[in-house]
A and B are shown apart, each in its own frame.
Chain A
């Protein structure tokens, strides 16, 4: 197989890669901390995910479920951050069409959050 020439990434590609990479790293850190806490306390993984408002107090009391679920939520939040980052990068590049497109995507995603909580 031939080796390919290196690809020069543009500003959008660089931002996407940085945001996704950072999101995954933070998420894994929380999940591994949660797994360590589960092992340390004995007794298996918690069967239920804490609600949004139980998360922060749970982190303070070293509740394994809070760490595991925070890790999962950081993972879920990463694409949101990527889209928000795209809005910013396109705004810096004065690409109005793509500022509008990515802003619509972000708004629809946020509508999903609100509707999910409404139930």
Chain B
């Protein structure tokens, strides 16, 4: 019962951060479950994938109500991410847990470095491809933009989907930089659109994990229930905070958990 409440509380926090950043909360759940609760890494990944689905489904209503989700962009890139995730979900049951953790840590550092290189949000450029607009309360104005670099974005989304299936991070940590830095989508629209997409990617992998018996209700149920609470708060923060604050939070979260995961992969006693 202690573990139940503990995991539930951690999941509330994961739900807030995951939905605020469009990454789904897997980034927090995998290391915490394996480090603090001793959950075997594959079961931890399975649980985090369930968390990603919950975050995506719950947070979406807040983002869509604001018109921040670019539905057509999301559904286009989902073609790439689902194909990638299918390959990743199969790979994860074949690869050693420590290797997965080391890969996870390295990827977290890489993404953090990418975000840190550019502390401000992209300047929105209007264009003919999937044009969209939303009202940004932090700036007090409507943001209009078009999508750029569709081919590059599609290709890298294949990779993001594969990472998601492999590591249970929902791929959001990679979809956000791809859409924001390479496709010119403003950060808040990126977060909302990534949040929509990660549910689909994660669901594909989740079925595979369930079939292999890794979706254990002892961990997945309290985690999912906690996410339901956290993922209602996160979008409010994402909508109202200035974009550059979100960039900094994104970086810090990635670095902290990258370090934790690396230590675990190296089996330094924590």
By a beta-carbon cutoff of 8 Å, the part of chain A in contact with chain B is 1-5, 7-10, 12-13, 16-17, 20-21, 23-24, 27-28, 31-32, 34-35, 44-49, 51-52, 65, 68-69, 71-73, 75-80, 82-83, 86, 98, 101-102, 104-105, 108-109, 111-113, 115-117, 119
Contacts and interface: CB of A to CB of B under 8 A. Distances in A.
Interface in B216-248: 216-218, 220-221, 224-225, 228, 240
A116 B208 contact: yes
B21 interface: no
B137 A1 contact: yes
The main secondary structure of chain B at its interface with chain A is helix
Contacts of A35: 221
Contacts of A65: 217
Contacts, number: 172
B213 A48 contact: yes
B213 A13 contact: no
19 contacts: A20-B61, A24-B57, A24-B228, A28-B228, A45-B221, A49-B213, A69-B217, A72-B215, A75-B57, A76-B207, A82-B199, A83-B78, A101-B78, A111-B86, A112-B205, A112-B207, A113-B207, A115-B89, A116-B209
Given A7-B67, A78-B53, A79-B53, A31 B210 contact: no
A94 to B, nearest CB: 15
A16 B71 contact: yes
Contacts of A79: 53, 56-57, 199-200, 202-203
Interface size class of B (residues with CB under 8 A): 35 or more
A105 B75 contact: yes
B97 to A, nearest CB: 18
A114 to B, nearest CB: 9
A68 B228 contact: no
A102 B224 CA distance: 27
- Among B83, B205, B220, B228: residue with most chain A CB under 10 A: B220
Contact of A76 (B58, B69, B210): B210
Nearest to A65: B217
B218 A46 contact: yes
Q: Which of B53, B93, B135, B225 has the most CB of A within 10 A?
A: B53
B221 A116 contact: no
B205 A73 contact: no
A104 B61 contact: no
A72 B224 contact: yes
Contact of A49 (B66, B79, B200, B215): B215
Contacts of B137: 1-4
A59 B233 CA distance: 33
Contacts of B209: 116
B113 interface: no
Contacts of B205: 112
Contact of A116 (B89, B218, B224): B89
B140 A2 contact: yes
B223 to A, nearest CB: 10
